[in-house]
Amino acid sequence: MGSGHAKRWAVGAGVVLLLVGVATGAWWLLRPGPPTRETLTEAVELATTGGDRLLREPMRPLTPGPRVLLFALDGVGANEFRQAVSEHSSGSIHALLGPERGEHLFEHGFAVPGALSILPSTTVAAWASVYTGQPPARTGVPGNEWFARDEVRFYAPAPVSVHAKEDVLHTFTDGLVGKALKVPTLFELADVRSFVSLAHVYRGADFFTTPEPSAAADLLVDFARGLVGAPDIERETYAELDQSSVAHLLEALGQYGVPRLQVVYFPGVDLYTHVASEPLEQQRRYVREVLDPLVGRVLDAYAEAGVLDDTYVLFVSDHGHTPVPGDDRHALSAQGEDEPTTVLERAGFRLRPLRLEVEPPARDFQAVVAYQGAMAYVYLADRSTCPEPGQRCDWNRPPRWEEDVLPVARAFHRANLTGEGAADMKGALDFVFARAGRPVSEDAPPFQVFDGERLIPLADHLTAHPRPDLLNLAERMEGLGAGPQGHRAGDVLLLTRTGLERPLSERFYFAGHYHSWHGSPSAQDSRVTFVVARRDEEGERVRSRTEPVVGPRPSLLHVTPLIRELLGAR
C-alpha cells in the first residue's frame, strides 16, 4: 500500500478519534505539551472501532416517492455558507441551487431566512433537536455533556470538561445519544428506508456507515500526535476525515442502493474552525475547497442512479462560530486556579471529579459542572442528605433554594462583578440564571435571571433591559430548561459574554484554548444554514413547500417536520 493511500485509510479509520472533539474541542487539544504513551494508545484504540452497521433486519422496503438527501454541515453558520457558495460559482452546490432569483431564493432552491439553532447552540444538543424536532427540555440531550441526576450519571458524547473517550465510542458503536433521547427520532417518525453516515443520532434508521478500521497504526499515531495542542494543524487532517467518510458512504450506496432518506454528516469543518487561526475566513475556504467537491460526488452518485431529479436536497447546520481569544484569560477552563470550578469549591461544595467515571471514594460530590462553550451547567445536591465527606448525596431530591442554590448563584454573581473566588471570572459572564429545584419526576421550571439577591422572570428582565443581540432568548431558554427533561440543564446556568457585537477581548467561553467557539444566543452562533433545493423544481415551488412548515420563526426544530412533509410521511 502506497504511503498516500495508507494515510487516507488511516485517517478514515480514525473517525471516532476525531469525533471526540467535534464541536467541543477534543480532550487531547485541552492537554498542554506533547502526547503521552497513554494518549497515543487511546488514539489507536479509538481508531479501531469503525465500520458499517445494519440496524434493521431486514431493511424497510424501498417504497416509491420522493427522496430526501440531508447534508449536515457541523458549525457552518448561515452567513459563511451563503458567502462560500456565492464565491464559488463553478461549484457543485452553486450548480444545484442555480443563480439567485431574489432574496433567499435561487433558481432551484430556497434558503430559509433567519433560521435559528436551539440553546445551547452546540453540536450534540442541536443535532438531537434536528433529528427529533423537539427542544432539549424534551429530548433529554441538553448539550455536548450533561449530568442526569436521576441516573447519577455524567454523559460526555462530545467531552469538554472531562478527559474521556468511552461515551464517544458508545455513541458511534452503541447509539449512546439515541438511547439517551426521550422522544421519537426522524427515522422512526418518517418510517422509510433511511441511511445515516457518521451522525450522532441514528436510532430508527436502517443502515449506519462510518469508515472502516485500518492496520496502519503507525500513521494513525502520527495523526493523533498532530492533534495534541498543536498550533499548526493542517486543514488536510480534517479534510481527509470528511473525504474518507464520503468514500465509504458511496460504497454503501453502490452496494445497497439509494434510500428514501440519507443523512451525510460533515464533522471535519467544525473541528477545523475551532483551531483555525482565521476561523470564519478559513471555514468558508473549507466549504468551497473541501465540502463542495464532496457534495458533488454524492450528487453525481444520485444522478448516476437516476434519482437526483426526485430528491430534495437539504443543507443544514447546527450552529455558527464566533472567533475568541485563545488564552487563559478568556478560556474558562474546568481545571486550574481561578476557574469556575474554584468558585464552587470556595463556596464549600464538594465538586464531582472531572472524569467520566468516578471511583467510589469520590462519589460523595455535592456539585457537578458540564461545559457547553458559551454556557456552563451547574448541578447541585440537597446537601442535607450528604453533609459530611464520604456521604453520598441523594440526587433524586432537588436542591434546596436557600441552602444550596442561592449560595452558588451569589458566588458566581460576585465572581463576575468583582473576581471574588476566581479572579479570571471578573467580567466574563453576561447572565447568571438559576431556579428553585423540583423532583425529576416533575417538569422542570424555567430558568430566571439572578440579579445578586433574587430571581427575576427572564421576560420581565428583558422588558426592562432589552437584549436584541441575544436572539429569541426567552423562548429558547424555555426550550432548554422548562419541561420533563429540563433538569438535565442544571440548577444554575452561566452564560458568557460573547458575540461578534463585542470586541474580541470581551468574548469568553467554557473550554480549553481555541480560536473560535459557540453555544450562545448571539446571532453569529445562532443563525444556521437551512437550505432546500431540488434540481427539477423552480425555487418558488420549493419555497411554497417549505414556508408553510417552517412558519414565521424558523429553527432547527422544523427540520424533522419539513423532511416528513417532503417525503410524504404522515
Using CA atoms, how far apart are residues 340 and 320, in angstroms rounded to an integer? 25
- The β-bridge relationship of strands 194-197 and 261-266 is parallel
pLDDT of residue 516: 95
Confidence band of 265 (pLDDT split at 50, 70, 90): very high
Report phi then psi at 368, rounded to 5. Answer: -135, 140
Closest CA to 430 of 372, 498, 491: 498
Residue 34 has pLDDT above 60, yes or no: no
Cell of residue 370, nine digits: 458540564
Q: CA torsion sign, 175 to 181 to 186 to 190?
A: positive
Q: Is there a contact between 161 and 494 (Cβ–Cβ < 8 Å)?
A: no
Residue 363 has pLDDT above 50, yes or no: yes
Report phi then psi at 297, rounded to 5. Answer: -65, -40
Using CA atoms, how far apart are residues 46 and 50, in angstroms rounded to an integer? 9
pLDDT of residue 120: 98
Decide: helix, strand or coil at residue 504: helix
Report the 10 Å Cβ neighbour count for 178: 22
Q: Is 355 exposed, middle or buried (0-12, 13-18, 19+ CB in 10 A)?
A: middle
Residue 131 has pLDDT above 80, yes or no: yes
Report the 10 Å Cβ neighbour count for 411: 22
pLDDT of residue 233: 62
Cell of residue 79, nine digits: 452567513
Which helix H or strand E contains 73, and what residues bound it? Answer: strand 67-73
Using CA atoms, how far apart are residues 175 and 105, in angstroms rounded to an integer? 37
Lowest mean pLDDT among 10-19, 120-129, 388-397, 521-530: 10-19
Query: Using one digit for the tens of pLDDT, what is the confidence trace for 375-384?
Result: 999 999 999 9
Closest CA to 398 of 173, 150, 93: 150
Strand partners, 431: 495
Sheet of strand 105-106, all strands in order from the earlier edge strand to the far edge: 53-54, 207-209, 194-197, 261-266, 67-73, 311-317, 530-533, 109-111, 105-106, 100-102
Return the C-alpha torsion angle 188, 194, 199, 200, nearest 10: 20
Region 148-170 average pLDDT = 89
Residue 250 has pLDDT above 50, yes or no: yes
Using CA atoms, how far apart are residues 483 and 445, in angstroms rounded to an integer? 7
Read off the pTM: 0.90
Strand partners, 110: 105, 532
pLDDT of residue 338: 83
pLDDT of residue 217: 27
CA-only gyration radius of the chain, Å: 23
Query: Using one digit for the tens of pLDDT, what is the confidence trace for 456-485?
Result: 999 999 999 999 999 999 999 999 999 999
pLDDT of residue 422: 92
Confidence band of 90 (pLDDT split at 50, 70, 90): confident
Longest CA span, the chain? 69
Residue 386 has pLDDT above 90, yes or no: yes
Region 410-422 average pLDDT = 95
Using CA atoms, how far apart are residues 365 and 380, in angstroms rounded to an integer? 9
Residue 22 has pLDDT above 70, yes or no: no
Query: 181-208 burial string, b = 16+ CB within 10 Å, else e?
Result: bebbbbbbbbbbbbbbbbbbbbbbbbbb
Sorted by sequence, the CB contacts under 8 Å of residue 475 that are 6+ apart come out as: none
Region 537-562 average pLDDT = 98
Residue 310 has pLDDT above 90, yes or no: yes
AA letter at 467 = R
Q: Is there a contact between 345 and 378 (Cβ–Cβ < 8 Å)?
A: no
pLDDT of residue 569: 64
Using CA atoms, how far apart are residues 208 and 55, in angstroms rounded to an integer? 7
Confidence band of 245 (pLDDT split at 50, 70, 90): confident
For residue 311, the number of C-alpha atoms closer than 13 Å in the C-beta half-sphere is 25
Averaged pLDDT of the chain: 88
Decide: helix, strand or coil at residue 74: coil
DSSP 55-72: -SSSPPP--SS-EEEEEE
Query: 474-492 burial string, b = 16+ CB within 10 Å, else e?
Result: bbbbbbbbbbbbbbbbbbb
pLDDT of residue 496: 98
The secondary structure of residue 468, as a DSSP letter, is T
Q: CA torsion sign, 114 to 265 to 250 to 257?
A: negative
Cell of residue 463, nine digits: 422588558
- Percentage, residues of the chain above pLDDT 70: 87
Residue 40 has pLDDT above 90, yes or no: no
Query: Using one digit for the tens of pLDDT, what is the confidence trace for 480-529?
Result: 999 999 999 999 999 999 999 999 999 999 998 899 999 999 999 999 99
Residue 38 has pLDDT above 90, yes or no: no
Closest CA to 315 of 87, 140, 546, 544: 546
Residue 479: C-alpha distances to residues 116, 269, 356 (Å): 13, 27, 27
Residue 280: C-alpha distances to residues 269, 276, 292, 500 (Å): 11, 9, 17, 11
Query: Using one digit for the tens of pLDDT, what is the confidence trace for 195-230?
Result: 999 899 999 999 999 864 333 223 232 332 223 344
Residue 355: C-alpha distances to residues 163, 348, 427, 448 (Å): 6, 20, 28, 30
Cα angle 493, 495, 496; round to 5: 145
Region 124-148 average pLDDT = 98
The length of the chain is 570
